[in-house]
């Protein structure tokens, strides 16, 4: 097993650890996903294409991927701001704010969905403020975006934060001494250094948002073609005994996510190679 594919290394334990890892990955991830990859083809290629090409499916995929891109795009500046403030700022309650960032990680999605809907529904604390102007938050695309931004925020903050921490503050200070203002420091000095982390954070937030289910179904209107997300459509197909149809959609989403993650890992490796 240790053959030639692993570069020689004095450290022990590669064999057993690798074996355990492969067992673990295979049992819990690969075999189940294999079932998913095989299943749709019982429809035949034409059937798969027809199943993916229906307007309702396209609308759901467009909503899921569009809203997720939007939410991730919002999360990048927002997450950067929060991470920067948490790392460099000194203000009372900073540690509390720091801990709160992880809440979307830790809070069960269904609980988050109920809480966000309670807040943003037309009779909720925030929804009430917008309702008189005819602005709908819950049960419309803005509500979906809120839920997705909520779900993705910690990914950006937590990937950027450690890099910002490691970034020697004296570089920023030197820039400040040379007369640079905070926004300039951010754009010229900080941003290039954290670009890889920002990219990872964006990808993670995006991937998480695409698959998000528990919190979104509470706050989305779930109207076909308008506010129906792709994961819900999978559930709907499942409930109609349409296993292959559900698997087709799941596989399409999986392929898109996998491509995304692989691309980010590749870019990451390129940046690392260039940097080191």
Partner 1 sequence: MTARPHPVPVLAVLAALAALTFLVLLPLAALFAEVLDQGIGRALAAFNDPESRAAIRLTALVAAISVPVNTIGGLAAAWCIARFHFAGRGMLLTFIELPLSVSPVISGLVWVLLFGAQGWFAPVLERLGVQVIFATPGLVLATLFVTFPFVVRQLVPLMVAQGREEEEAALTLGAGGWRMFWHVTLPNVRWALLQGVLLLNARAMGEFGAVSVVSGRIRGQTLTMPLQIEALYNDFQAPAAFAMAGLLALLALVTLGARAMLEWQTRRAVDAQVTPA
Partner 2 sequence: MRMQICAKAVAAALLLAITIGGRPAAAQDSLLNVSYDPTRELYREVNRAFPAVWQSQTGRSITVNASHGGSGAQARAVLDGLQADVVTLALASDIDALAARGLVAKGWQARLPEQSTPYTSTIVFLVRSGNPKAIRDWPDLVRPGVRVITPNPKTSGGARWNYLAALGWALRQPGGDEASGEAYLRRLFAQVPVLDTGARGATNTFVQRGLGDVLLAWENEALLAREELGAGKFEIVYPSVSVLAEPPVAVVDAVADKRGSRAAAEAYLRFLYSPDGQDIAARHYFRPRDPVVAARYADRFPPLPTFGIDLFGGWAQAQARHFADGGVFDRITAPAK
Applying the rule CB under 8 A, the residues between 16 and 45 that interact with partner 1 are 16-18, 20-21, 24-25, 28-33, 35-36, 39
Q: Would you give the DSSP letter of residue 274? A: H
Interaction partner, residue 225 (partner 2, partner 1, none; CB < 5-8 Å by kind): partner 2
Residue 222 binds partner 1, judged by CB under 8 A: no
Please spell the DSSP secondary structure of 49-109, one letter per residue: HHHHHSHHHHHHHHHHHHHHHHHHHHHHHHHHHHHHHHHH---TTHHHHHHHTTHHHHS-H
CB of 134 to partner 2, least distance (A): 13
Identify residues 243-262 at the interface with partner 1 (CB under 8 A): 243, 246-247, 250, 253-254, 257-258, 260-262
Six-digit token string for 209? 């948002």
What are the backbone angles phi and psi of residue 174, rounded to the nearest 5°? -60, -45
Residue with tokens 């009430």: 128
The DSSP output letter for 136 is -
Q: Enumerate residues 166-185 that contact partner 1 by CB under 8 A.
A: 168-170, 172-173, 176, 182
* Site residues, partner 2 (CB under 8 A): 15-17, 19-20, 23-24, 27, 54-56, 59, 117, 121-123, 138-139, 217, 221-226, 228, 232, 235-236, 238-242, 245
Helix (H, G, I), strand (E, B) or coil at 166: helix
Helix (H, G, I), strand (E, B) or coil at 260: helix
> Which CB atom, from 66 or from 182, has the smaller least distance to partner 2?
66
Nearer to partner 2, 59 or 194 (CB): 59
Site for partner 1 in 71-130 (CB under 8 A): 78, 81-82, 84-91, 95, 97-112, 114-116, 118-119, 124-126
Q: CB of 197: closest distance to partner 2 in angstroms?
A: 32
97 makes contact, choosing from partner 1, partner 2, none, with CB < 5 to 8 Å by partner type, with partner 1
Q: Does 193 bind partner 1 (CB under 8 A)?
A: no
* Smaller CB separation from partner 2, 62 or 166: 62
Q: Residue 75 or 117: which CB sits closer to partner 2?
A: 117
Q: How many CB atoms lie within 10 A of CB 185?
A: 18
CB-hemisphere CA count at 13 Å for 81? 7
Asked if residues 212 and 200 have their Cβ atoms less than 8 Å apart, the reply is no
Number of C-beta neighbours around residue 243 at 10 A? 13
Determine the 3-state secondary structure of 220 from DSSP: coil
Q: Which of 65, 58, 152 is nearest to 102 (CA)?
A: 152
The least CB distance from residue 53 to partner 1, in Å, is 20
């Amino acid at each position: 097993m240790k053959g030639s594919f692993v570069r020689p290394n004095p450290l022990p334990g590669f064999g057993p650890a690798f074996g355990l890892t492969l067992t673990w990955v295979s049992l819990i991830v690969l075999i189940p996903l294999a079932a998913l990859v095989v299943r749709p083809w019982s429809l035949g290629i034409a059937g798969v294409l027809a199943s993916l090409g229906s307007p309702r499916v396209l609308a759901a995929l467009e909503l899921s991927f569009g809203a997720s891109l939007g939410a991730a795009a919002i999360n990048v500046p927002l997450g950067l701001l929060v991470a920067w403030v948490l790392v460099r700022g000194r203000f009372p309650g900073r540690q509390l704010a720091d801990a709160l960032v992880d809440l979307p990680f830790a809070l069960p999605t269904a609980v988050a969905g109920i809480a966000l809907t309670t807040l943003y529904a037309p009779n909720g604390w925030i929804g009430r403020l917008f309702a008189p102007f005819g602005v709908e938050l819950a049960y419309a695309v803005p509500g979906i975006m809120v839920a997705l931004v909520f779900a993705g925020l910690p990914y950006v903050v937590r990937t950027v934060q450690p890099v910002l921490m490691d970034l020697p503050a004296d570089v920023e200070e030197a820039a400040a001494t040379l007369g640079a203002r905070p926004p300039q420091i951010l754009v010229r000095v900080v941003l290039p250094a954290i670009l890889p982390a920002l990219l990872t954070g964006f990808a993670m937030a995006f991937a998480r948002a695409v698959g998000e289910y528990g919190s979104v179904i509470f706050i989305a209107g779930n109207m076909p073609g308008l506010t129906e997300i792709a994961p819900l459509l999978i559930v709907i197909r499942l409930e109609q005994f349409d296993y292959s149809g559900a698997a087709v959609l799941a596989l399409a989403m999986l392929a898109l996510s996998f491509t995304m993650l692989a691309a980010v890992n590749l870019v990451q490796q390129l940046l690392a190679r260039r940097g080191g």
